[in-house]
A and B are shown apart, each in its own frame.
Chain A
Amino acid sequence: MTDHRFADVSGVRKALSDAKYLADEGTAGIVYLADRLGKPVLVEGPAGTGKTQLAKSVAEITGARLIRLQCYEGLDESKALYEWNYKKQLLRIQAEGDSSTWSDVEEDLFSEEFLLTRPLLEAIRAEEPVVLLVDEVDRVEVETEALLLEILSEYQVSIPELGTVEAHQVPLVFLTSNGTRELSEALKRRCLYLYIDYPDLEREREIVSAKVPGVDDNLADQVARIVRSIRQLDLKKDPSVSETLDWARTLVLLGIDQIDAQTATDTVNVLLKYRTDIDKVVKEFADNPAELTDTSA
């Protein structure tokens, strides 16, 4: 923890935006704090707002290796932490014959040679700088969450047969969650909390400009404004940032530089994925077919 990765908050922000991740002040500040305090960051927010991308971008700007643990129901120790390579252990026993004593074999069997490292242990044992991403942590069961606790607070893994493996360097850890369930207090307590919401108009426009090749400022502005208006309707699923980007790309591909109600309703299915939502938006913005035709500028 002696040398820090970042000098100050604005430096983080600058580096992230160079990596085409446009963070707001809060996000950059928390990444900076995570580095200074050596604490993991729990990132929550609606789907498609760039939670996973944040970890990737941070890995990119720090030149660290990204180690990713994708969580799912039924994830267990042997898939997240480590596992003994028992096939190899069996071979070892068979190769031995009866020449050596049991204690030698036993000592041998539970050495690092027979250890299969999984993402969490790998991140701890890495010599080079790493960023550990635990993706969609809300998908594992509450009991499995406990697996993470030792790593998150002490940066170490206890293996009964081997002892404790401590980290060579404190990795930056990001946990993402879509909030499908409440995470345990114990986990939350160990993390810094970052909520990434839909960006405001200003930032969404910048994101579209930065991420979509060939989009001009005028189109980016229109896209951002329409998306903001759509998000204010009461929809089942609001359009996410990634969907906004898809929509902008679609418009660029179609060679459209002025969005009118007609094009908006024609392409809105890129933005929205529920029938009822699409109907609602079309009704809101263009219920009068006559208006649809006379708007081409």
Chain B
Amino acid sequence: MAQTITQKIFARAANQKSVDAGENVWLNVDTLLTHDVCGPPTFDIFKEKFGSDARVWDPEKVVVLPDHYIFTANEHAHRNIDLLRKFADEQNLPNYYDVGTDRYKGVCHVALAQEGYNLPGTVLFGTDSHTCTSGAFGMFGTGIGNTDAAFILGTGKIWEKVPESMKFIFEGEMPDYLAAKDLILQILGDIGTDGATYRAMEFDGTAVFSLPMEERMTLTNMAIEAGGMNGIIAADEVTEAYVKKRSQKPYQIFRSDPDAEYHSIYRYAIEDLEPVVAMPHSPDNRATVRSVQNTRISKSYIGSCTGGKLSDFVMAAGILKGNTVSVPTNIVPATVEVARSLETELVDGKPISKILEDAGCTIAAPSCAACLGGPSDTFGRSEDDDFVVSTTNRNFPGRMGSKKAGVCLASPLTAAASAVTGKLTDPREFLR
């Protein structure tokens, strides 16, 4: 029977020849990810249910990347880091990346890729909804809660319903004014925040496969914003080149059969698309940037798992070079590796960090920072009735801190162009 890539990965992890959409199966988990917000309660449940001296099913397969509330004076947040450290120590977890040491990485979804945990064909569960990001590597990744994560910690297994798949095909050549963010915001505007609930979102087409890994991760990252169980892009030579540089572990490449069944198929011609944003207060509230171009902004924010990768800052620097921002512009590299690259990677012969600083941006240390608001002293947190243009992934009420603020989701090109003018601005204004 013809199968989608997601079905093939499920079948492998369930030790079955094939699986049907809608069927509940028990999966053997290859990697379990957790962080400082959901790790401590997960470990509590694990100890309560399996016993205080229970051991995790496979220490090599547990990855603990604190990233949410790192640079804060909040004592409860510090206690959560202490609890992670204690558990990692008790269980001898080799893949714990402690805060305040040179092992600290930053935002978990980007660090998973950079540290070689994303392997085609594998099954990843994580206590974070954006675990779907890793699907850019032709693997299955999805978010779960603490109870399910505790169950996996003890057994290495979890039940999941095999999703139906939706296919999104982008054909054509990406112009310099469009980013992956524009493509996913386009989809969200078309299908809504529950348009893919319980389904796999498979991305395909020449434009998708022309993207570097970091941009592919922007697409899969926001599958959850449509309610998707996972986002997935089959591995190709670009994926293999990235993976081989960062891991020696074996992997398996799966591809959808040409006659596999889909819930629905959406086709886009790149030439028909233009820069878009999601206006407050929902990621599906799409508007072309041109149609809202006079909207005043009070801040610009470039960061997070979806918008704080090196490729995002390369795009932003292309706009910001030689310009000055007119509103506070906060830069949060996702990981330490991204932060270091800002110092070494050049745009027009100048380090990216220098371009950003010369333009008047403030660069912070890597973490989730204000993407989800966080404790009151979090860098970049929205205040009062701020209107923030942001490369993050969610803009529900109160998401970046203040309940009165509005957040407008945009590509790094649009966020940078808007930072210069102080109002929502189509990046084509700067790319002529």
| B and A form one assembly | no
